[in-house]
């Protein structure tokens, strides 16, 4: 995800995720907006990855 790709996982904040979701729902370029269900699925994938990172001790 280019929107998050430059943010180290330890510096990831809720506003980064909110900006990502907003950019998917309301793109500023000529791309079609993502469906809310697609954004929800993206959120669930990210949540799972972050929970896994916590379990592995990568982040706290």
Within the chain, residue ranges assigned H as helices are 2-5, 14-25, 36-55
Residue 47 lies in a domain: yes
Residue 11 lies in a domain: yes
Please indicate, yes or no, if residue 33 is contained in any of the structural domains.
yes
Residue 15 lies in a domain: yes
Q: What does the alpha-carbon distance between residue 60 and residue 55 come to, in Å, rounded to a whole number?
A: 9
Q: How many CB atoms lie within 10 A of CB 59?
A: 15
CA distance 9 to 45: 15
Q: Using one digit for the tens of pLDDT, what is the confidence trace for 17-50? A: 999 999 999 999 999 999 999 999 999 999 999 9
28 belongs to a structural domain = yes
For the chain, what is the domain count? 1
What is the span of the domain harbouring residue 18? 2-55
- Does residue 60 form part of some domain? no
Residues 6+ apart with CB under 8 A from 4: 12, 16, 17, 20
Q: Which pTM was predicted?
A: 0.85
């Amino acid at each position: 995800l280019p929107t998050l790709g430059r943010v180290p996982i330890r510096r990831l904040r809720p506003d980064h995720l909110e900006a990502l979701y907003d950019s998917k729902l309301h793109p500023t370029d000529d791309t079609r907006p993502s469906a809310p269900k697609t954004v929800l699925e993206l959120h669930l994938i990210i949540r799972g990855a972050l929970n896994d990172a916590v379990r592995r001790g990568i982040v706290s």
